[in-house]
A and B are shown apart, each in its own frame.
Chain A
Amino acid sequence: MKDRKKILVVDDEYSLCKNLKTFLVSEGYDVLFTTNGEQALDMIIDEKPDLMTLDIRMPGMDGYEVLKKLMLERTGPPVIVISAIDIPGMEEKLIHAGAKAVLLKPVDLKALAETVKSIFNAR
């Protein structure tokens, strides 16, 4: 079903992945998730998600790297960064690196839904 947008959730917290999946599914999206940055890149190639939520601080390849790689390859889906990291200039840096939006943890699900919707609508 081509109408249903596919969203890839990347976060090293399994519980969060599950929560986000539950929510986004309830919002009418197909949802995949992974707790590993490298796997995320594979899944983008394999599953071709329409959107990705990305955590920054992760073991192994972190979100920033994932983001930069995607930008480099210009292949990836739009990315919403959901991060607890807040250092000066972080948001600008992430936007600069290619993120469509930055949401800070704890994430407000309604805000997430709106952001997702606005990204899809913009297309």
Chain B
Amino acid sequence: MKGANTFKRFLAVKFAVFIVIIFAVETGIMFMFARLNIEHTLIEPFLDSFILILVMTPTIYSLFISLMRKDEFLRYSKEKYRALVQTANDAIISIDAAGVVIFWNAGAEKIFGYVEEEVVGRNIALIMPERALDLHRAGLERVAGGGEPRIIGRTVSMEGVRKGGEEFPIDLSLAMWEVEGKKYFTSIIRDVTDRKKAEEELRRSNEDFREIIENSPEPMALSDEEQRIVFLNKKFTEIFGYRLADIPTVEEWWSLAYPDPSHREKIQTEWNRRVDAVVREGVEFAPMEGNVVCKNGRRRDIVFTFSFIGNRGLTMFHDVTERKAIENELIASQTMLAKAQKLAHLGNWEMDLQTGKGTWSDESYRIFGFEPGAFEPTCDKFKSLLHPEDRNVVNKILQKILVEGISSFEFDARIIMPDGKEGVVHDKLEVVADKDGKPVKITGVNYDITERKLYERKLERANLELSKAMEQIRQAQDVMIRSEKLAAIGTLSAGVAHEILNPLNIISTSVQLMQMDELPAKMKEMLAGIMTQVRRATKIANNLRMFAHYRKSQKVALDVREFFNKTAALIEGDLQLDNIFIQRDFDSDTPIIYADEDNIAQVFLNLMSNARDAMRERREGAITVKTSKFGDGVEIRFSDNGPGIPANIIGKIFDPFFTTKEPGTGTGLGLSLLHTIITDHKGSVSVESEEGKGALFIIHLPMGSEGGGRSERN
């Protein structure tokens, strides 16, 4: 059987070679004849018949063979075919024109689950989904009716039905053959469930990927190898405003997002460097920052990252505009706080009660005279910076917090700066407790109050001086009031005394004269009574007079310079209103003398008020007061630039009641009194004047001695 088959095959091959050679020979001869221009009417019929014979011979031969070996050959071919198809993984199924299965291979068994015996002889509809049946039948009918089958020679995708009813995708190629006028169809079917699944998977994952990118909360862009942008997600357009149409290429993105060429170049260079690193070294793209201009012109701070997905580049953008703004705000507010602390000389600090360690603000360091961060701020360090006498304040505070449980505290402490200067800080602290109420931390602020303390001290001193000055003025006022009161009373009482004493004098002398005569006793008695009353009235008048002039003088140590100022303070303001200014020329040698303050005040006041009255009409009056040492006492030269004293009256000015003033404006006693006082102090007073050139009073006062004495001048 096998030998016959080999032989048949051999024959068939020889035959085919033979036919090819025959055709080749004929074509060659025909070609040559044509080239040689040989035309013979016999050549073509000869060649045709020759070739016909050659062609027919194998047909006849094969007919012969087939007739002879038909069964065997068929068996051979069938066996070979079966071996082939049975080993295939694909299902190979043959049906006849009615759709009945006539062949079912092992692949089909595997794919559809039916064994050959179950299927052969049954309709192919068994393995087709119902919806496909109509189409299938129509196809078969059409082919049966002589029509061309539509799916022959192509591979189509459709569904099959496994035993058990499961549908699954298949690829099907169909061949049609005819045997003895009958049409048969053979289909090769491949189960593509896995491939479909994989395809579906891929499609879905592609979709998922795109979905993920599209719906990513961060802007993303996909670019290809040619630097074309192929995809922008929703967020990208939302944040930057650009659509794919706006930036079809990466180059256009650069120029729109970074209109400033220098910034663009910087970013681009940096970008390329990083992408290069990814490509060459396989490292991850290091995120970088840029300031992107959006389509609407706004700017955004962006952090980019980039990665390759296959040969595409995926750029992810992270919008940090708000974070940046917050960062900037934070920086600004920190800067402001630091500035404010600096301006206010106020620092803040914290200290952990367990460790004794803490943190200080920059200004805290500066308050203590150090650069910020110059040392680690511990409790002990703080203590060491304090003035040695103030160091125990630290223990006091800790005692208060840990033992007494106070929650806030304020104190002032002196500090010693690195340059040795002393400063003062005011500290205000609060205790921070944990949830059990146990103190764990102290937070505080310290103010630099060095300057404030300095000013406080200055102010204190100024206040002291002011109150001293006030006291002096008050005293001087007392003196003046007293002097003026006394002067006024003196003037009044002198007037009263004079006016009363004159008539009393007349009465008295009259009575005395009458008493000298011989008079009736009763009359004498009455005259004596009158005299008693006259004496009484006289006594009253004298008492009145004495009230002004009878008093104790009290000589005390007195610096005439200082005392002059004290007295002048009372009327210097008034003088200035009259454009009169006092110039002082006090010799530092001017000694202290013993004198009665009230009296000396009276002297100065009288001199000044006289000068004022003299200079009142002047545009600018000047009083010059010089003091110097004279013997063991002082010389006071008191001059003005008034009109001077006419020569004819200069000798009278110390006379009592002498006055150049209008009646009622002066008593005429001022300079007389001055003379009396100076004389009383065992001093002297003289006057020099030239008309029109002012007057100069020269007063000499001896040192004198301390103590009081009756200074009665009746």
Chain A residues in the interface with B (C-beta under 8 A): 13, 15-16, 19-20, 22-23, 26, 56-57, 62, 64-65, 82, 84-93, 104-110
Residue in A65, A91, A106, A109 whose beta carbon sits within 8 Å of that of B655 in the complex? A65
Judge whether A106 and B501 touch: CB under 8 Å.
Answer: yes
A120 to B676 Cα, complex, angstroms: 31
Is the Cβ of A22 less than 8 Å from the Cβ of B504? no
Please, which residues of chain A bring their CB within 8 A of the CB of B490? 87
A90 to B652, CA, bound (A): 15
A91 to B713, CA, bound (A): 8
Taking a contact as CB atoms under 8 Å apart, the answer to whether B506 and A86 are in contact is no
> Which chain A residues border B656 with CB–CB below 8 Å?
56, 64, 85, 87, 90, 93
Min CB–CB distance A26 → chain B (angstroms)? 6
Chain B residues within an 8 Å CB radius of A16? 502, 505-506, 509
The one of A20, A56, A88, A110 in contact with B549, judged by C-beta atoms closer than 8 angstroms, is: A88
Which residues on A sit within 8 Å (CB–CB) of B549?
A: 86-88
CB of B513 within 8 A of CB of A109, answer: yes
- Is there an interface contact between A84 and B498, defined as CB atoms closer than 8 Å? yes
CB distance from B70 to the nearest CB of A (A): 189
Cβ-defined contact, B505 with A13, below 8 A: yes
Q: What are the 9 A-B residue pairs with the smallest beta carbon separation, nearest first?
A: A88-B713, A106-B508, A84-B501, A89-B676, A19-B509, A105-B505, A106-B505, A109-B512, A105-B501
Contact partners of B351 in chain A: CB under 8 A:
none
Contact with A along B346-382 (1 / 0, CB 8 A): 0000000000000000000000000000000000000
A-B contact pairs, 6 of them (CB 8 A): A16-B505, A84-B497, A89-B676, A93-B676, A105-B501, A107-B505
Query: Once bound together, how far apart are the Cα atoms of A82 and B509, in whole Å?
Result: 12
Supply 16 further A-B pairs (C-beta < 8 A) apart from A20-B509, A57-B657. A16-B509, A19-B510, A86-B497, A87-B673, A89-B676, A90-B713, A91-B714, A92-B679, A93-B656, A106-B501, A106-B509, A106-B534, A107-B509, A108-B508, A108-B512, A110-B512
Q: Mark B492-527, 1 if CB is under 8 A from A, else 0.
A: 001001100110111111101100100000000000
Q: Is the CB of B713 within 8 A of A105?
A: no
Chain A residues near B513: list those with CB within 8 A: 19, 22-23, 26, 109
Please give me the residue from chain A that is nearest to B546 by CB atom: A86
Bound-state Cα–Cα, A92 to B713, Å: 9
**B:654-713 near A, CB below 8 Å:** 655-657, 669, 672-673, 675-676, 679-680, 711, 713
Chain A residue numbers with a CB within 8 Å of B504 are: 105-106
User: In the bound complex, do residue B507 and residue A85 qualify as a contact, i.e. CB atoms below 8 Å apart?
Assistant: no
CB contacts (< 8 Å) of B679 on chain A: these are: 89, 92
In angstroms, Cα B512 to Cα A92, docked, is 28
- Chain B, range 465-502, C-beta contacts under 8 Å to A: 490, 494, 497-498, 501-502
Minimal beta-carbon separation of B452 from chain A (angstroms): 57
For residue B510, which residues in chain A have a CB less than 8 angstroms away from its CB? 15, 19
Considering the chains assembled together, what is the distance between the CA atoms of A95 and B45 in angstroms? Answer: 205
Residue B555 CB within 8 A of the other chain: no
Determine the chain A residues whose CB is within 8 A of the CB of B657 once the complex forms.
Answer: 56-57, 62, 64, 85
Question: Is B655 within 8 A of A64, CB to CB?
Answer: yes
Measured CB to CB, the nearest residue on chain A to B538 is: A106
Number of interface residues of B (CB under 8 A): 35
Does the CB pair A86–B508 fall under 8 Å?
A: no
Residues in B whose Cβ lies below 8 Å from that of A19? 506, 509-510, 513
Of listed A23, A89, A92, residue having the most chain B CB within 10 A: A89
Distance between B68 CB and nearest chain A CB, rounded to angstroms = 193
Partner of A107, one of B508, B675, B676: B508
Whether A84 lies near B669 (C-beta < 8 A) is no
Verify B506–A57 contact, CB threshold 8 A: no
Task: Please give me the residue from chain B that is nearest to A19 by CB atom.
Answer: B509
In the bound complex, residues from chain A placing their C-beta under 8 Å from that of B86 are none
Q: Is B624 part of the binding interface, using a Cβ–Cβ cutoff of 8 Å?
A: no
* Residues of the A chain whose Cβ atoms lie less than 8 Å from the Cβ of B516: 23, 26
Q: How far is the CB of A56 from chain B (nearest CB, A)?
A: 8
Contacts of B506 in A (CB 8 A): 13, 15-16, 19
A89 partner, pick from B509, B652, B713, beta carbons under 8 A: B713
Task: Please name all residues of chain B whose beta carbon is closer than 8 Å to the beta carbon of A88 when the two chains form the complex.
Answer: 549, 673, 676, 680, 711, 713
Given the complex of chains A and B, what is the CA–CA distance between A105 and B501 in angstroms?
6
Which residues of A sit under 8 angstroms from B714, Cβ to Cβ?
86, 91, 104
Q: Within 8 Å CB of B538, what residues of A?
A: 106
Alpha-carbon separation in the docked complex, A105 to B507 (Å): 11
Given the complex, which residues of B lie within 8 Å of A86, measured CB to CB?
Answer: 494, 497, 542, 545, 549, 713-714
With contacts A19-B510, A26-B516 known, is A89 near B505, CB below 8 A? no
How far apart are the CA atoms of A86 and B383 in the complex, in Å?
Answer: 79
Complex contacts, B545 vs chain A, CB 8 Å: 86
- Residues from chain A with a CB closer than 8 A to the CB of B652 are 65
CA distance A90 to B712 in the complex (A): 11
- Closest chain A residue to B493, Cβ basis: A86
Return the chain B residue nearest A16 by Cβ: B506
Task: Give the contacting residue for A23; candidates B509, B534, B711; CB below 8 A.
Answer: B509
User: Given A16-B506, A23-B513, are A87 and B501 neighbors across the interface (CB < 8 Å)?
Assistant: no
Shortest beta-carbon distance, B234 to chain A, in Å? 116
A89 and B494 in contact (CB under 8 A), knowing A84-B501, A109-B509? no
Could you tell me the distance between the alpha carbons of A64 and B653 in the complex, rounded to whole angstroms?
12
CA distance A15 to B490 in the complex (A): 27
Q: Which of A57, A90, A106 has the most CB of B within 10 A?
A: A106
The complex places the Cα of A110 from the Cα of B515 at a distance, in Å, of 12
- A28 CB, min distance to chain B CBs, angstroms: 13
B320 to chain A, nearest CB (A): 100
Q: Residue B498 contacts which of A22, A23, A57, A62 (CB distance < 8 angstroms)?
A: A57
- A88 closest partner in B (C-beta): B713
Contact call A87/B680, Cβ cutoff below 8 A = no
Taken residue by residue from 372 to 416, chain B's Cβ proximity to chain A (1 for < 8 Å, 0 otherwise) reads as: 000000000000000000000000000000000000000000000
Asked whether, in the complex, the Cβ of A106 is within 8 Å of the Cβ of B507, the reply is: yes
Q: In the complex, which residue of chain B has the Cβ closest to the Cβ of A15?
A: B506
Chain B residues contacting A57 (CB-CB under 8 Å) are 498, 657
How far is B198's CA from A55's CA once the two chains are assembled, in angstroms? 155
B101 to chain A, nearest CB (A): 169
Q: Which of B502, B513, B680 has the most CB of A within 10 A?
A: B502
For B507, what are the chain A residues with a Cβ–Cβ distance below 8 Å?
106
Query: How many angstroms from the CA of A17 to the CA of B265 in the assembled complex?
Result: 130
Q: Establish whether residues B505 and A85, one from each chain, have CB atoms under 8 Å apart when the complex forms.
A: no
Chain A residues with CB below 8 A from B501, complex form:
84, 104-106
